[in-house]
Structure 1
């Protein structure tokens, strides 16, 4: 690769990982992250409309965690805190300024692997500060800094990218416009890196961070499946508009196709969305084929996940700024080729940021003290069926939720107006039947537990007061960046 840069020191000696042969190098890690992908936008998980053969193959090979959640966000750009939590192994109230910056004392997992002798590489999206990127990776190519490709600059068709810059300056004048669709640019870089790694004695940690299927839902390139709108099945929980003000009905995501939305218009949007899911699936396939070709598939732990989900007409929404399953639930799977996983699925409740300590334990690395996530290794080994008893979910200062057993409780405070919801996720996965009036005792129990969890994790909102926070106005950006600052 012409612009692949490296300044790594000599490899550090590492203990042999249990289960590997004594003369075999430590397992590699390939982390594939997609952007705004619904947790059920995968054929192997039951979606009869979408075509995802390469992701399906990963599901058949590994363990899929069907109840994985992002912890939430304080602002509308959910991918920024989600990725910061994922990278640092910390929860929403433990990262700085909603993930805009990752301070030095919060060690990212690629940074940790790098310090332990791994060759670390990244391509694609990075949504935090530049310094933390360079701490994490010694190499990179076709790097995108930011939240999304802009509509006004041709979106995914003309991605603004960077080569690796050892100074971490990444100046505007050194940026370039990719000549291919974003997913292909990122896969090209990953393929080149993997080919360079076949003659390297060090294990690698490759972070491939796609920006698909996040909008703009551009005209597709000449690969992947094209979908016809009339062939798309509308979700069972499609609604023309949301039934009440959740505090975020006028955010950018919702205005891509303003409500009320017709079924025909949503079919058109879904056709474009599934097209982008399929095109990124093709590029994932190229990366996996290269991993096979260099002979490293049997010694590479693979993680596939999305940073957050997205509403595509479900519950009358089009964005991801809610606590419904389609937005905070994410697809996630882990493959450890040294273990027999064979397409298992688990309903163990977990956060995305639990992946960090899991990877540490799978590779024999000590978990840094800055990490607060919980390792999923016991679940992978089949030793336990549960992981977390419950999960709390947050959005801005206006939405809070709790998932426990088969139920989800959500409470909203929009300028002093309280709305509550209780859903039976087993019998009502689309979250259409509000059980608040039918299950008052359960509402009291779940709200009490939610209040307890939020206090334990230092939420700035107090659900026992009428306005929760300050005078109850919606959290603004200049207020947000000053929340949860950490000394370095």
Structure 2
């Protein structure tokens, strides 16, 4: 029996009700709708979170290893060799494995998961219009770093980021999708492929090309039923990044 090719697309921090085919009739998502109609969808899933990237980083480690929250290493900041990744499992079964886009679980676990790749982003979030990406390195070494000023308006503190280059002015979604299309159009191997494409959107900062932003009038969008102006439990505003993305208490106009 011939093994199937597998294309695994990951959007970042996107809820199922932000897809037209799954019940939200106020938005247009034709490409995601086609995937819904042709495959299966999870509409009721719960991920237990910890600290330091409570949703993104730990959930990715759990997804890629099949392990639960309390059986991953260091909240998913790294996936140790004894935890077989999804990419490794397919590679061991004779697949060509390609990793494109975001990888939030350490460079070493990426290197052993994929036999090729491109436009790799090692991190959690970034400016969608200036994404620092790495090329695929056959030796598995991703040591090249760039130095940048994290917020030049408020200080001179600098940080380092794994990066071979910055694709200035290209939105992250276009950057990752174009790389995936090139892979699919040029694939000539006889062995099956596992292609994992991990987008940065719609993770904040929520910026997008104007042609998509201008499709909607915020005042006409319905807020979700669980919208609340204030938290039910006071655990200290400002302890998490998402809490300070909008004013507090929340207002409907800001959220829209």
Give the alignment's TM-score, normalised by structure 2: 0.87
CA contact (8 A) 1:145 1:161 kept: yes
CA contact (8 A) 1:34 1:212 kept: yes
Unaligned runs of 5+ in 2: 147-162
Change (3 A) 1:219 1:56: closer
Report the structure number with the largest CA radius of gyration: 1
Query: Which position in structure 2 is the counterpart of 1:258?
Result: 247
CA contact (8 A) 2:171 2:208 kept: no
Say if 2:136 is the partner of 1:147. no
Q: Give the distance between the partners of 1:212 and 1:86, measured in 2 at CA.
A: 18
Say if 2:140 is the partner of 1:164. no
Whose RCO is larger (CA < 8 A, sep 6+)? 1
Give the alignment's TM-score, normalised by structure 1: 0.47
Give the deviation of 1:244 after TM superposition. Answer: 2.2
Give the deviation of 1:263 after TM superposition. Answer: 1.3
Query: Which position in structure 1 is the counterpart of 2:178?
Result: 188
Q: Give the distance between the partners of 1:81 and 1:232, measured in 2 at CA.
A: 31
Give the deviation of 1:29 after TM superposition. Answer: 1.0
Give the deviation of 1:63 after TM superposition. Answer: 2.2
Aligned pairs (5 A) from 1:327-476? none
Aligned match for 1:131, one of 108, 116, 133: 108
Match of 1:114, SS state, is helix
Say if 2:17 is the partner of 1:40. yes
Say if 2:52 is the partner of 1:70. no
Cα RMSD (Å) of the superposition? Answer: 1.8
Unaligned runs of 5+ in 1: 1-15, 17-24, 150-154, 268-488
Say if 2:204 is the partner of 1:232. no
Match of 2:58, SS state, is helix
Tell me whether 202-211 or 61-70 shows the greater mean CA deviation: 61-70
Match of 1:178, SS state, is strand
Q: Give the distance between the partners of 1:181 and 1:171, measured in 2 at CA.
A: 23
Q: Give the distance between the partners of 1:249 and 1:39, measured in 2 at CA.
A: 27
Q: Give the distance between the partners of 1:223 and 1:247, measured in 2 at CA.
A: 35
Match of 1:121, SS state, is strand
Residue-by-residue CA offset, 1:12-47 (whole Å, 9 max, x unaligned):
xxxx3xxxxxxxx31111110111111211111111
Say if 2:205 is the partner of 1:216. yes
Q: Give the distance between the partners of 1:247 and 1:72, measured in 2 at CA.
A: 18
Say if 2:103 is the partner of 1:117. no
Number of corresponding residues: 238
CA contact (8 A) 1:73 1:82 kept: no
